[in-house]
Structure 1
Amino acid sequence: MMKTIEITESVYDRLATKITGFGDTPSLVIERLLNDVEGASVKPGLIFHPENESKFKELLLRDKVAEVAIYKKNGEIEVLVWNASKLKESSNIKANIWSGYLRNWEGKGIIKAEFTIYARPVDDFRDHKFFDLCKAVSPLINVPYKNLIEYDFEHTIEERDGENVLEIQFSDGQNFDLFENNEYFESSTKRITVPQHCLNYPL
């Protein structure tokens, strides 16, 4: 049964800063804060995209790859690529997750994990190369793919010292909180610079 409580706008704004991404709510934030105070351990929530776990498994078996976004207590997000080439129809998805990506979740401070099948939305202004680029850059900069493809940016490739370098220039007026403390992101210019040797993607 849901209850309604009243809080000041300033307290609500503080709660909003603790939200870790899609699917998180002020209620879940309060629960995490209470658990910290009480010293209780709550297993991380698992979120699948698509939401239906059976459909997610079906697509994972088809594509043999998915994105994993790990959210931590300290606000960090770690983006990984799930290579599921050895996954079988008989495999237990959640057992794989708990024994793999969420092993020692308490020690790592993990509070939530999202598992996403890479999708290419219908977009008349962006070709498949744009989505392939986002897919490759996402785990390097620890920004989930589904968030990165929503940003407005242009990219160029330049040769420097005999190596290709990728530059992603974001448009002004966007929220860059996800890029905070990212070594590849220059906040003053709203630009990401990545040399070829750091990127598992041909430039």
Structure 2
Amino acid sequence: MATTDPERPRASADGALEPHLPCDRLPDGTWVYAPVGAMLVVASGQRVVCHACGDALSAVTGVHTARHGMDLGTYRARFGLNRKQSLIAPVLGEARRVEGLRRWESNELVRTGLEQGREMARTGVLHDLGRAAQPPGTRRAQGRLAASREGASVALRADRDARAAAARERWTQQAQDLGFDTLQAYLAARVRDGSSAHRVRTELGCGGSVAVRLLAQMDDAPGRR
């Protein structure tokens, strides 16, 4: 027969469970209000239950976990959640997904910004920025060094160079399809007529940040008239 823990909250006199009734206990004796290692979804997907206090929330946010003396990373680790586990209720998550798609389809600035982010990731710029933000000698900084331009392995640099060359060939072909002999001739013409980076991005099929960089290179070219 199961033993009764005198410290565990009990049902009310009429037999109904009291709100925020814990369902498990951590090794240090702390009560938890949702299953360790999983998110407890309630209210038909509109709420998730905080492991630390039992509150039903649309999302377990950093502001909420701070009340329990934790950030989101500490919260996930303490309650056995994957570090990428979503802490958002499914209904809210789906609403955000739909809104994100709507913004992607209707807002050119959003599409351009995301494309620039992908380009920065592909070229290693994000690695460099992340490494610069880390204290010297930290494990994360060492990892970012290995992925940066100067810290990358010979094989990684070769792969990046090959992809860059292939991309330039594609842009050159696009320029030739538009009637220009070379990519440089195309870019020179676009600089002369004051074309935007968006036009270059659309015509060449490159990223927004790449288009900006290509035009800037033409501006810096010696002897350009």
Indicate whether the TM-score tops 0.5: no
TM-score interval (norm. to shorter): under 0.3
Structure richer in helix, relative to its length:
2
Which of structures 1 and 2 has the larger relative contact order (alpha carbons within 8 angstroms, sep 6+)?
1
TM-score, scaled relative to structure 2: 0.23
Larger Rg: 2
TM-score, scaled relative to structure 1: 0.25
